[in-house]
């Protein structure tokens, strides 16, 4: 059976931090689906179309990475796509505390899906979509924080 992982997130916008996690996961799984969880309650800076395009540009050269978006629960999306793994990235203990709760709740909802964590290298711990958004909103250049290939 193929090992399929879903990497869910807002990706508002995708950063070199996300890219590092996906690149490494692509060698562990047969397929990695980078999926924007389209949550209408959460206001995003970039539209869903822009975020999908940035993701496509980011991962165009990694063969087993697929881009998608979904509404509703991540576990339901995993069932739909036959994914048995949820991928999440960790920068620090704050991420861990937050992610642990989501992983345990997802485990309660769907026992046969495992959440797998990949820790980013020290050079990427400060990379954070919300800070990138603030820089962009205030007229700063965010290109260096975005994966090569992304045209903002
Ligand atoms: P969400 O809105 O679900 O937090 P994000 O797009 O902000 O989605 O992040 C998606 C995933 O990527 C999360 O697991 C987050 O911890 C991880 N992530 C974000 N930035 C980095 C980074 N610099 N290094 C490692 N993981 C990261």
In a domain, 148, yes or no: no
Q: Can you give the residue range of the structural domain that contains 131?
A: 4-143
Ligand 1 centre distance from Cα of residue 138 (Å):
22
pLDDT the model gives residue 39? 80
Let me know if residue 54 belongs to a domain: yes
Domain contains 115: yes
- pLDDT per residue over 86-109, tens digit each? 999 999 999 999 999 999 999 999
d(CA 139, ligand 1 centre) in Å:
23
Q: Show the CA angle centred on residue 53, arms to residues 52 and 57, nearest 5°.
A: 120
> Per the domain annotation, does 150 fall within a domain?
no
- Contact in structure between 15 and 43 (CB atoms under 8 Å): no
Q: From edge to edge, which strands make up the β-sheet containing 65-70?
A: 65-70, 31-37, 4-9, 85-90, 114-119
Q: Catalytic residue at 51?
A: no
Q: Is residue 13 situated within a structural domain?
A: yes
The active-site residue out of 42, 43, 93, 151 is 42
**Residue 91 a catalytic site member:** yes
With pLDDT > 90 as the criterion, what percentage of the chain qualifies?
95
- Residue 149 is assigned to a structural domain of this protein: no
Pick the closest to residue 119 from 84, 92, 146, 99 (CA basis). Answer: 92
Domain count, the chain: 1
Q: What is the CATH number of the domain that holds 47?
A: 3.40.50.620
By most ligand atoms within 8 Å of CB, the mutation choice from 7, 8, 9, 102 for ligand 1 is 9
Confidence band for 41, pLDDT divided at 50, 70 and 90: confident
């Amino acid at each position: 059976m193929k090992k399929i992982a879903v990497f869910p997130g807002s990706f508002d916008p995708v950063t070199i931090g996300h890219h590092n996690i996906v690149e490494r996961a692509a060698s562990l799984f047969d397929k990695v689906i980078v999926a924007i969880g389209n949550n209408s309650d959460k206001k995003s800076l970039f539209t869903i179309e822009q975020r999908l395009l940035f993701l496509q540009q980011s991962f165009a050269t990694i063969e087993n990475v697929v881009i998608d978006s979904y509404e509703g629960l991540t576990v339901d999306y995993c069932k739909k796509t036959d994914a048995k793994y949820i991928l999440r990235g960790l920068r620090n203990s704050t991420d861990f505390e937050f992610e642990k709760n989501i992983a345990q709740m997802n485990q309660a909802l769907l026992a046969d899906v495992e959440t797998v964590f990949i820790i980013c290298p020290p050079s990427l711990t400060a990379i954070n979509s919300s800070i990138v958004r603030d820089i962009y909103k205030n007229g700063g250049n965010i290109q260096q924080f975005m994966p090569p290939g992304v045209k903002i």
